[in-house]
Amino acid sequence: MTVLIEKEIGYFLCHRRWSSSNNKAGIPKMILCKDLFEIDCPFLFDLQAQKIAKNWFNKEKDMGRPMKNLPKDELEIIEHVSEIVRSAKEAGYLRDSSNSCDYHENNKKAREFVKCFLSNKKALPYGKFSSTDQKILSLNGTNYLFFPNASAVVCNILSIDVSEFNDKFNLIVIDPPWVNKMVSRKRKRNESHGYDLMEIHEIQKLPVKDLLSENGLVALWCTNKAAFRSFALQKFFECWNVELVATWYWIKVTTSGELTTPIGKNKKPFEILLLGRNKNCVNYKPVPSHRIIVSIPAAIHSFKPPLDEVLKPYIQDEPRCLEMFSRSLIPNWTSIGLEAFQLQDIALYEPLEENK
Ligand SMILES: C[S@@+](CC[C@H](N)C(=O)[O-])C[C@H]1O[C@@H](n2cnc3c(N)ncnc32)[C@H](O)[C@@H]1O
């Protein structure tokens, strides 16, 4: 089970547990490594974290004051996150509080683990891959964990031939490589640490309209940049024949429930998920217009929490689901992208038995 707490305002979910629940018999049960999720302190520069660790009793002041006059949506989010975090602490899913050692360490273990993984990462070969059972797929000396009935197409999405997909999809999750300064900087410094980016006009050309079923739902991860968000809502949705039905937020918290990015700074502590329904759909179960998803993020940049369980109530039974720009697999789903199953590398997994 991924969703550990469900309330009217949203969910607390565990990405790591999700990874093990997809394992079926065949090979030893695997789970994403614990080190990946050891996010014990907010995302800070080393100097800033050290300063806070040394001056622990002035922590609130050193974290910096939030901007005045926060927008209404951000104020509501803070309130709702506190409620979910409180419940997660009561249930023992989060620690009570952080301490100066956490800030002193500044998530070093998680960061080094990811740095080592990215330095050894190899590009996937183009092609179609699938498996009915759970298996390990070896490609160019790297082993990838394939989940049951998952299929993947490693390709440039802009050149896919929609006629190759036999049927339309009831859910399409899209996490585009939005133009982003941080990723381009990483890309410039070290090829393996970033990924290719896509201009907004190219994202608009994705063949969503041709691939979405009549009752289909689109879940679009959108950057916090206001201009991109309004372009997505006006232009993408129009082109894809989709109408906005809900705006959800993913809020990233540390192992003690602190926001990974302090609220009220330029960088937001949340990512936005825009949900749109095919305009031709009649009478389908409505998606709640606002929900928050709270979870501890993996230390890999942009690694999103799985949405299969939280979106299941709003699509048909035994749905056909597609993830565009994926980096990992979901059982029974089709995943496409240049790095379609890069994060299934077993270097990111460990045997479940060791982590009871
Ligand atoms: C924001 S990331 C997706 C992250 C993913 N949702 C996750 O949770 O790990 C965008 C991905 O799109 C891929 N990408 C960039 N340009 C692409 C293209 N033209 N066709 C297919 N994939 C592309 C990048 O390599 C990267 O893996």
Tens-place pLDDT, residues 21-30: 776 656 778 9
Distances (CA, A) of 307 to 18, 172, 252, 313, 353: 10, 11, 15, 11, 26
C-alpha to C-alpha distance for 35 and 16, rounded to whole angstroms:
11
Residue nearest (by alpha carbon) to ligand 1 atom 27: 339
- Residue list, ligand 1 pocket, CB within 6 Å: 156-158, 175, 177, 195-196, 198, 302-304, 325-328, 337-339, 343
Single pTM value for the model: 0.94
- Give how far Cα 117 sits from Cα of 40, 170, 178, Å: 20, 34, 23
Q: Whose CA is nearest to atom 1 of ligand 1?
A: 177
* pLDDT higher at 73 or 275: 275
Ligand 1 atom index nearest CA of 198? 16
**Does pLDDT of 191 surpass 80?**
no
Question: Average pLDDT of 30-35?
Answer: 95
- The helix/strand/coil state of 132 is coil
Tokens standing for 205? 């050309």
Going from the Cα of 323 to the center of ligand 1, the distance in angstroms, rounded, reads 10
Atom of ligand 1 nearest to the CA of 302: 4
pLDDT digits (tens, 9 = 90+) for 68-104: 667 787 788 888 999 999 999 999 999 999 999 999 9
- Determine the residue of 325, 333, 336 to mutate for testing ligand 1's pocket, defined as the one with the most ligand atoms within 8 A of the Cβ atom: 325
Ligand 1 atom at shortest distance from the alpha carbon of 343:
9
Helix (H, G, I), strand (E, B) or coil at 85: helix
Helix, strand, coil percentages for the chain (3-state, nearest 5): 35, 25, 40
Q: Mean per-residue pLDDT for 315-336? A: 96
Closest C-alpha among 351, 292, 276, 203 to residue 11: 292
Measured distance CA(82)–CA(64) in Å, rounded: 19
Taken in order 146, 152, 154, 157, is the CA torsion positive or negative?
negative
What's the chain's Rg over C-alpha atoms?
A: 20
Domains along the chain with CATH numbers? 3-355 (3.40.50.150)
The ligand 1 atom at the shortest distance from the C-alpha of residue 202 is 19
Strand ranges (E), 41-179: 127-131, 135-139, 142-146, 150-154, 169-174
- Written as one letter, the residue type at 347 is A
The two tokens of residue 340 are: 């379609």
Protein residue with its CA nearest to atom 25 in ligand 1:
195
CA of 217 from ligand 1 middle (Å) equals: 20
The Cα angle at residue 166 between residues 162 and 171, in degrees rounded to 5: 75
Q: What is the percent of the chain where pLDDT is above 90?
A: 74
Question: Ligand 1 mean position to 195 CA, how many Å?
Answer: 7
Q: What is the average pLDDT score of the chain? A: 91
Ligand 1 center to residue 169 CA distance, Å?
19
Tell me 269's DSSP state: S
Mean predicted confidence (pLDDT) in 237-256: 96
Count of H helices and E strands in the chain?
Answer: 12, 15
pLDDT digit string (tens) for 205-244?
Answer: 999 999 999 999 999 999 888 899 999 999 999 999 999 9
Asked if 209 and 237 count as a contact pair (C-beta separation under 8 A), the reply is no
CA distances 102 to 22, 61, 302, Å, are 31, 17, 23
3-state class (DSSP) for residue 169: strand
Task: DSSP letter for 253, please.
Answer: B
Instruction: Give the strands of the sheet with 127-131, arranged side by side.
Output: 3-7, 10-13, 290-295, 242-252, 270-278, 212-222, 169-174, 321-324, 333-337, 150-154, 127-131
Probe ligand 1: pick from 122, 338, 344, max atoms within 8 Å of CB? 338
User: What phi and psi, each to the nearest 5 degrees, are found at residue 240?
Assistant: -90, 0
Q: Which two tokens stand for residue 45?
A: 């520069």
Is the confidence at residue 355, as pLDDT, over 70? Answer: no
| 3-state SS class at 53 | helix
Which residue in 22, 19, 26, 21 sits closest to 133, CA to CA?
Answer: 26
Listed in sequence order, the residues at least 6 apart from 258 whose beta carbon sits closer than 8 Å to its beta carbon are: 41, 42, 98
- Rounded CA gap, 308 and 103, in Å? 34
The C-alpha atoms of residue 13 and residue 305 are separated, in whole angstroms, by 8
321: which DSSP letter?
Answer: E
H-run or E-run covering 17 = helix 15-21
Residue 110 has a CB neighbour count (10 Å cut-off) of: 23
**Looking at residue 188, what is its pLDDT?**
67
